[in-house]
Structure formats: C-alpha cells, structure tokens
C-alpha cells in the first residue's frame, strides 16, 4: 500500500482514536475539531482514505465514519519502503532474480499466522505454489 501523506495519517489516527473511545460512527466535525482542521478538508481526505479501504462510511443523520481493520493493520505496521530496494526473493536457500517492490502485511493481529502480499519484478516461473520462500537480506 502506498504511504499516506501527513494529513491523511493525522486524520486516520484521529478517527481511530475517536472510534476507540466511543465505538460509534464518527462525524467529520469531530475529527476536524480534534485536529484543528476545516471540516471540508477532513471530509475530502476521508474520501481518499475510503478509496484506499481504510475507512467505511454511512450517510445520513446517524451516519459517519469508522476505521476498517485494514486501517488498524496499516497504522500498526511501520513503513518498510526504505529496505525494499535491498530485498530479493529466495527459493529455499537459492537467490532468484525476483526483486521485491512492495510488501503489504495483512492479518498481523492473528496469533495463528499472518499473510503478506508481495509486489515483485522478475521471472515468476522460477517459483511454484507451495515452494518455501524467504525475503532477504533484511537489516534486522
């Protein structure tokens, strides 16, 4: 997933904080008041967050916005983009010419396992479904 702008991140964090406090639909005015921004700006930014799948909305007087599970997962994962240019995909212990362009971590709160979506370049015919693969080298 792409990186969020500082304003998008600020609005998403405020929405999550407000939702966690009340467990109810959050109005754009509540977010705007919390972060000191114009309500129209908040609504416009939230539309973009909705397109990214980070926010759900309900129209009407009882409507508002709530963060999605994807929003919580996105906020909990630090940006890993600086290390991506160094990552290769290994099949077993053999390095392939497949390079990692993007990593999206999913289901990170699941104690029984996690999922990952990789955006890669290279010849994917060198790996098959079920092959054990690893990414590396990693700086930690």
Q: What CA–CA distance (Å, rounded) separates 134 from 138?
A: 10
**For 101-114, what is each residue's pLDDT tens digit?**
777 767 666 777 77
**Third-level CATH fold of 6-76:** Arc Repressor Mutant, subunit A (1.10.10)
**For 59-83, what is each residue's pLDDT tens digit?**
999 999 999 988 888 887 655 554 4
pTM, rounded to two decimals: 0.56
Q: What CA–CA distance (Å, rounded) separates 58 from 69?
A: 16
Q: What are the residue ranges spanned by the domains of the chain?
A: 6-76, 81-136
Radius of gyration, alpha carbons of the chain = 19
Return the percentage of the chain with pLDDT > 90, whole number.
38
Give the mean pLDDT of 35-50.
94
């Amino acid at each position: 997933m792409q990186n969020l702008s500082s304003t998008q991140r600020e609005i998403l964090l405020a929405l999550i904080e407000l939702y966690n406090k009340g467990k109810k639909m959050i109005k754009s005015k509540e977010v705007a008041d919390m972060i000191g921004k114009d309500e129209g700006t908040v609504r416009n930014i939230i539309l973009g967050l909705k397109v990214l799948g980070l926010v759900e909305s309900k129209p009407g007087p009882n409507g508002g916005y709530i963060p999605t599970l994807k929003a919580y997962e996105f906020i909990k994962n630090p940006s890993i983009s600086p290390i991506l240019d160094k990552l290769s995909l290994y099949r077993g212990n053999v390095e392939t010419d497949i390079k990692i362009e993007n990593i999206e971590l999913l289901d990170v709160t699941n104690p029984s396992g996690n999922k990952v979506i990789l955006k890669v370049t290279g010849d994917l015919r060198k790996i098959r479904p079920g092959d054990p693969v690893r990414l590396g080298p990693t700086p930690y």
